[in-house]
């Protein structure tokens, strides 16, 4: 499998479609929209407690502040429940709050100063109630969301019993904040006859449209949601942007005035949910060579106060608990816990990072127990021919994993560096120096929504008579370059330069019933829909070109249409076969035998004058999906994006600080649509994940209120945290023919490779501690590293 695996050389790439406007500061985000006359600025009143009765509220003094206009409460909401999977969350709480940050009222004012003064005058009387603030407490009280799920293969109990060696343990994984640069924001304009135009920083315009409509008591047809671009989303705006828009919409409806709500970073972090924390217990059986024979895991996640997307997140964690490795007897059980934290939600990778963290950590432990190198344990257990069926019954097709391991082992000089690090660590133990660690981990990330009906998308392609093209899809541009990729697909289909293509803002009046831009499938679904639309237009244009070839120019539509001096050219059965004879290249449309060619723009004009449609709506649904959620079996994904990463770290013996000395990444992204954007996603995703596993520590007080709610108390990676040596390369793979243009999704998979940093930290700690198996929670903060390196210094006296 790995023989002949070749790296992909850097390829000249078109820039991000908004790169110039980003750099010059001209890119327009929601809160950049100019203020209109009489527009109101909104602020939120929310709970400081994890759980409390709302005994009384008094807005009298707040409404007397000059410039404060109106307040919206639960009594103004027509349908006061919403939820992406379960309808269990109030838009505005009325009698009881279930997490710190739950919103009870929206205040509208004419100026920021008036809003600030008005919010300070709101009087609320609370009665604190007992709250559940840990997974353990939720389990003991059976406070759950949904039913326990199980995915299993083989006889795990018997296989564990018969395994020569066994290990068990518990892995704790904290959440992380999305920390998008643009906080949650929405502007709503009331229109005639009760219509509402919503501009939202949302990954899911359709859900935002529906939540707004239900909250305001209007039909979906009277709400249009528009998302031009997002200043980052990472999953945090998939579901949780909807109530933010609803708050502004309720104010706009009640007052008849435009309403704007743009959260501060502090309010955003306090109110919105995070990556789900997980607590996992496991039991693994293996032989003396390190071959895993049986694996049993119980996953508990913290869903927060309401369901949001947590049950689907748990499902993906269970589906990815095998990662890149074949395990003959495997059982994974998952249960979402209901606690009194903000409802946790989608985050880049969804549940995948938790499942992958689990098995990669276990492999490190198995390596320690067998006295072997962890890379050899990974290669031994890797999916390969004959061992290529997942625990949910899907075959791992187009499997490059063995070759990726082999190539990166060579490219990263893993073996020689391992020897050097072993020598270094021996000296560190003797002298009290800084230990180093090295780890090479993999990712096999399934691409598709695991909820089948979400795997659909649509696109509207319009060609204007000058030959320029407008494209509208359900994909939301949130910095990842989805618009650039779809524009490239359309440009390639028509043989046009990218400058001829204009991607339009995502709008529910042009692309309805859309899926969220999530699950790394934005280009896959919407790009394929755009391609289908292009092909239908091309068939008509190509058929017309064939007709024009045999028609005297004096009888072309451009010569006759105005006066009607010749009949229109009728397109016949040749439409269906026209593309086999006609090519679209370099702004020309030509017969493949070179006997006739015409400028694209000229052919478009002839088509218009001949009353041939120059627009098309394309709908695409991902084929061949058949995952039975009840049985935990079937084809859950269209394909897998694969990759490996080798990370080397050094731990400061005195401070616990992590220095990432070198990272080498090798990814299989099929045939990249845009090489530069893909490599950017690989490196950016890795660094974002690296923050999650090292420095991003969420700290709450005893009332469940987030204390680390600002850049000063929550540390995302900076330029100083990036690897000193950072190599990211792609491999050549034309084999993913099931996807548009043979490409592979890149949004989420690279993030999971950050776990190589965490396992490298564990490698350094365990080497320093005589190769004992030592647990390490995520994130591996400086304090946790110090406690692991020198536990004797933290003993209570």
Question: Which residues are identified as catalytic?
Answer: 748
Taking a C-beta distance cutoff of 8 angstroms, is the pair 649, 693 a contact? Answer: no
Give Dmax over CA atoms of the chain in angstroms.
103
**Residues forming a β-bridge with 150:** 333
Residue ranges in 256-351 assigned as alpha helix (H): 265-271, 310-319
Taking a C-beta distance cutoff of 8 angstroms, is the pair 263, 241 a contact? Answer: no
Parallel, antiparallel, or unpaired: how do β-strands 40-46 and 259-262 relate?
A: parallel
> Which DSSP letter does residue 387 get?
B
From residue 586, alpha-carbon distances to 500, 534, 546, 583 in Å are: 12, 16, 19, 10
Structure tokens of 669? 């992204």
Q: CA 329, CA 381: separation in Å to the nearest integer?
A: 13
The three-point CA angle 534-539-544 to 5° equals 125
Which of 435, 365, 352 shows the shortest CA–CA distance to 173? Answer: 352
Taking a C-beta distance cutoff of 8 angstroms, is the pair 276, 346 a contact? Answer: no
> Which DSSP letter does residue 555 get?
G
Q: Name the 3-class secondary structure at 159.
A: helix
Rounded-to-10 torsion of CA 177, 180, 184, 185: 170
Alpha carbon 243 to its chain centroid, in Å, reads: 19
Taking a C-beta distance cutoff of 8 angstroms, is the pair 96, 53 a contact? Answer: yes
From residue 194, alpha-carbon distances to 77, 180, 212, 250, 507 in Å are: 15, 33, 13, 12, 19
Q: CA 476, CA 622: separation in Å to the nearest integer?
A: 19
> Which DSSP letter does residue 251 get?
H
Parallel, antiparallel, or unpaired: how do β-strands 96-97 and 597-599 relate?
A: unpaired
Alpha carbon 605 to its chain centroid, in Å, reads: 41
Q: Name the 3-class secondary structure at 299.
A: strand
Taking a C-beta distance cutoff of 8 angstroms, is the pair 151, 205 a contact? Answer: no
Q: CA 547, CA 539: separation in Å to the nearest integer?
A: 12
Rounded-to-10 torsion of CA 280, 282, 288, 293: -110
From residue 592, alpha-carbon distances to 346, 531, 585, 741 in Å are: 48, 21, 11, 21
The three-point CA angle 316-317-320 to 5° equals 85
Q: CA 371, CA 773: separation in Å to the nearest integer?
A: 11
Q: CA 242, CA 198: separation in Å to the nearest integer?
A: 11
Using alpha carbons only, how large is the chain's radius of gyration in Å?
28
Residue 700 burial by Cβ neighbours in a 10 Å radius (0-12, 13-18, 19+): middle
List, as one string, the DSSP characters of 722-756.
S-SEEEEEEE-----TTSGGGB---SSHHHHTTHH
Strand order in the sheet with 196-200: 68-72, 103-109, 40-46, 259-262, 185-190, 196-200, 223-227, 506-507
């Amino acid at each position: 499998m790995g023989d002949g695996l070749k790296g992909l050389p850097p390829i000249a790439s078109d820039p991000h479609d908004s790169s110039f406007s980003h750099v010059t500061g001209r890119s327009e985000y929601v809160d950049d929209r100019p203020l209109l006359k009489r527009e109101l600025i909104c602020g939120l009143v929310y709970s400081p407690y994890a759980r409390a009765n709302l005994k009384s509220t008094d807005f009298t003094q707040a409404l007397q502040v000059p410039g404060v206009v109106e307040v919206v409460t639960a009594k103004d909401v027509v349908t006061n429940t919403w939820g992406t999977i379960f309808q269990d969350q109030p838009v505005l709480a009325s009698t009881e709050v279930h997490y710190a940050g739950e919103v009870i009222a929206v205040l509208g004012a004419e100026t920021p100063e008036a809003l600030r003064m008005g919010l300070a005058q709101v009087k609320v009387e609370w009665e604190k109630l007992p709250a559940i603030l840990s997974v353990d407490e939720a389990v003991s009280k059976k406070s759950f969301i949904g039913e326990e799920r199980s995915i299993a293969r083989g006889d795990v109990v018997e296989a564990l019993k018969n395994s020569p060696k066994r290990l068990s343990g518990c892995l704790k994984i904290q959440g992380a904040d999305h920390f998008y640069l643009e906080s949650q924001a929405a502007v709503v304009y009331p229109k005639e006859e009760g219509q509402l135009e919503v501009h939202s920083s949302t990954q899911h315009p359709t859900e935002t449209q529906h939540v707004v409509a239900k909250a305001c008591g209007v039909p979906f047809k009277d709400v249009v949601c528009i998302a031009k671009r997002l200043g980052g989303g990472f999953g945090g705006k998939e579901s949780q942007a909807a109530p933010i828009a609803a708050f502004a919409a309720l104010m706009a409806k009640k007052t008849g005035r435009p309403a704007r709500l743009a959260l501060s970073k502090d309010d955003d972090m306090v109110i919105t949910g995070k990556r789900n924390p997980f607590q996992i217990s496991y039991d693994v059986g293996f032989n003396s060579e390190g071959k895993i024979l049986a694996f049993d895991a119980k996953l508990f996640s913290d869903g927060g106060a309401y369901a949001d997307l947590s049950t689907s997140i748990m499902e993906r964690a269970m589906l990815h608990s095998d990662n890149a490795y074949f395990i003959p007897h495997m059982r994974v059980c998952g249960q979402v816990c209901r606690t009194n934290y903000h409802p946790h939600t989608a985050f880049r990778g969804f549940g995948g990072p938790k499942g992958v963290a689990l098995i990669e950590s276990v492999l490190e432990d198995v390596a320690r127990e067998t006295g072997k190198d962890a890379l050899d344990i990974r290669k031994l257990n890797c999916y390969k021919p004959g061992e290529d069926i997942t625990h949910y019954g899907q075959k791992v097709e187009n499997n490059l994993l063995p070759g990726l391991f082999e190539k990166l082992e060579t490219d990263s000089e893993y073996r020689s560096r391992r020897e050097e690090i072993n020598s270094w660590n021996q000296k560190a133990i003797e002298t009290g120096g800084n230990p180093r660690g090295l780890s090479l981990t993999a990712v096999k990330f399934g691409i598709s929504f695991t909820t089948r009906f979400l795997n659909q998308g649509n696109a509207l392609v319009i060609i204007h008579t000058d030959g320029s093209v407008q494209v509208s899809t359900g994909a939301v541009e949130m910095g990842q370059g989805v618009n650039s990729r779809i524009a490239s697909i359309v440009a390639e289909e028509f043989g046009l330069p990218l400058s001829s293509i204009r991607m339009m803002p995502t709008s529910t009046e042009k692309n309805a019933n859309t899926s969220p831009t999530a699950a790394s499938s934005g280009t896959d679904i919407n790009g394929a829909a755009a391609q289908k639309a292009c092909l239908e237009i091309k068939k008509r244009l190509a058929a017309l070109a064939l007709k024009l070839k045999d028609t005297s120019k004096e009888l072309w539509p451009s010569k006759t249409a105005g006066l009607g001096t010749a009949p229109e050219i009728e397109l016949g059965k040749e439409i269906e076969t026209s593309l086999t004879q006609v090519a679209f290249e370099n702004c020309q449309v030509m017969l493949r035998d070179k006997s006739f060619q015409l400028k694209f723009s000229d052919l478009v004009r002839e088509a218009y004058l001949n009353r041939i449609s120059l627009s098309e709506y394309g709908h695409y649904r991902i084929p061949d999906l058949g995952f039975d959620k009840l049985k935990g079996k079937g084809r859950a994904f269209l394909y897998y994006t694969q990759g490996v990463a080798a990370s080397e770290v050094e731990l400061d013996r005195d401070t616990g600080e992590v220095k990432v000395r070198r990272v080498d990444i090798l990814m299989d992204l099929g045939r990249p649509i845009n090489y530069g954007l893909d490599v950017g996603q690989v490196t950016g995703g890795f660094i974002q994940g690296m923050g999650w596993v090292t420095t991003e520590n969420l700290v709450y007080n005893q009332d469940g209120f987030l204390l680390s709610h600002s850049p000063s108390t929550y540390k995302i990676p900076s330029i100083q945290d990036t690897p000193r040596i950072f190599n990211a390369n792609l491999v050549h793979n034309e084999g993913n023919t099931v996807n548009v243009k043979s490409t592979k999704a890149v949004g989420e998979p690279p993030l999971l490779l950050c776990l190589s940093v965490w396992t490298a930290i564990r490698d350094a700690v365990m080497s320093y501690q005589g190769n004992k198996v030592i647990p390490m929670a995520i994130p591996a903060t400086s304090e946790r590293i110090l406690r692991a390196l020198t536990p004797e210094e933290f003993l209570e006296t």
